[in-house]
């Protein structure tokens, strides 16, 4: 059975005071209502230390929005998983569309990050998704297929217990335009089939890989999305950045 996961991506938002207040709110309100659900939040890197201290022992996990795939080295401006694990950070996002779009991150570079993360005990949350023009041109599955094949190539099957995928159609991110449960389910089922195709006996691996949906998830649409068989959780931006709406997702 795959867990239901409610992940919050705070992106480049919140002051230090706001991040600390939100983390305390999550610590005090989420565990009681999380029943059977897993909670993970991804604060900006500057707030990781403070937030992970607050959430230590709460059952809510903390992840980084980005990493550089290396141990300690001369790499100005980047963060190594080695530094993050010291803070109790267990998860990292890879390939968010904002980084693909505005920082030219390729699936190939994502592959290096995922590889490094899983070999170092982290869970990598690999984001994939098509843009509006790609969807309109009928290229959704082609794009998803190549993002999955390139991003997850040469990852050993035994490391897949530390891989989650997040389907985030770019046209649904921050736009209020949520994919219909049917559109999301169709994409998730396709992604699962692509994961299965990476290995000779890949069905079992694919069936145990959590696939989250992201893009304008809110308390009032999450239930319907999570009722689809291949949607295992949400990767939530805006609605995860206020305690009321984040708690409302559980
Ligand atoms: P929104 O929930 O604000 O649309 O953001 C989704 C997202 O990008 C999560 O990673």
pLDDT tens-digit series, residues 169-184: 999 999 988 899 999 9
Active site residues: 96, 168
d(CA 68, CA 60): 24
Instruction: Decide: 236 in ligand 1 pocket, CB within 6 A.
Output: yes
d(CA 197, CA 192): 9
What local confidence, expressed as pLDDT, does residue 30 receive?
A: 83
pLDDT tens-digit series, residues 132-157: 999 999 999 999 999 999 999 999 99
Cβ neighbours of residue 227 closer than 8 Å, sequence gap 6 or more: 181
DSSP code of residue 168: -
Confidence of residue 168 (pLDDT cuts 50, 70, 90): very high
What local confidence, expressed as pLDDT, does residue 32 receive?
A: 62
How many whole angstroms from 8 Cα to the centroid of ligand 1?
8
What local confidence, expressed as pLDDT, does residue 179 receive?
A: 92
pTM, two decimal places: 0.97
Write out the two tokens for 125.
């949350």
**CATH number, domain 7-14+64-241:** 3.20.20.70
Nearest CA residue ID for atom 5, ligand 1: 237
Cβ neighbours of residue 233 closer than 8 Å, sequence gap 6 or more: 3, 4, 5, 6, 7, 37, 38, 210, 212, 213, 226
What local confidence, expressed as pLDDT, does residue 36 receive?
A: 76
What local confidence, expressed as pLDDT, does residue 33 receive?
A: 61
Whole-number mean pLDDT of the chain? 96
pLDDT tens-digit series, residues 207-235: 999 999 999 999 999 999 999 999 999 99
The three-state (H, E, C) secondary structure of 41-69, written as one string: EECCHHHHHHHHHHHCCCCCEEEECCCCC
DSSP code of residue 2: P
Q: Report domain extents, the chain.
A: 7-14+64-241
How many whole angstroms from 217 Cα to the centroid of ligand 1?
7
Residue 236: which of 10, 4, 2, 21 has the closest Cα?
Answer: 10
């Amino acid at each position: 059975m795959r867990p239901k996961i409610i992940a919050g991506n705070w992106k480049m938002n919140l002051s230090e005071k706001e991040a600390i207040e939100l983390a305390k709110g999550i610590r005090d309100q989420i565990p009681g209502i999380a029943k059977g659900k897993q909670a993970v939040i991804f604060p900006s890197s500057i707030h990781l230390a403070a937030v992970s201290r607050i959430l230590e022992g709460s059952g809510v996990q903390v992840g980084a929005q980005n990493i550089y795939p290396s141990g300690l080295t001369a790499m100005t401006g980047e963060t190594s998983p080695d530094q993050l694990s010291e803070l109790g950070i267990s998860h990292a996002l890879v390939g968010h569309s904002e980084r693909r779009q505005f920082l030219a991150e390729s699936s190939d570079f994502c592959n290096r990050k995922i590889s490094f993360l899983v070999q170092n005990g982290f869970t990598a949350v690999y984001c994939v998704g098509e843009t509006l023009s790609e969807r309109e041109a009928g290229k959704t599955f082609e794009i998803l297929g190549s993002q999955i094949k390139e991003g997850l190539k040469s990852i050993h099957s035994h490391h897949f217990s530390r891989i989650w995928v997040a389907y985030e159609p770019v046209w649904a991110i921050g736009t209020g335009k949520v994919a219909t449960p049917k559109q999301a389910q169709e994409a998730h089922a396709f992604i699962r089939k692509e994961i299965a195709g990476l290995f000779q006996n890949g069905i079992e691996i694919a069936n145990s890989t959590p696939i989250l949906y992201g893009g304008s998830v809110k308390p009032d649409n999450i239930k319907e999305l999570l009722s689809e068989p291949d949607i295992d959780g949400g990767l939530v931006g805006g609605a995860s950045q206020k305690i009321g709406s984040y708690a409302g997702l559980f």
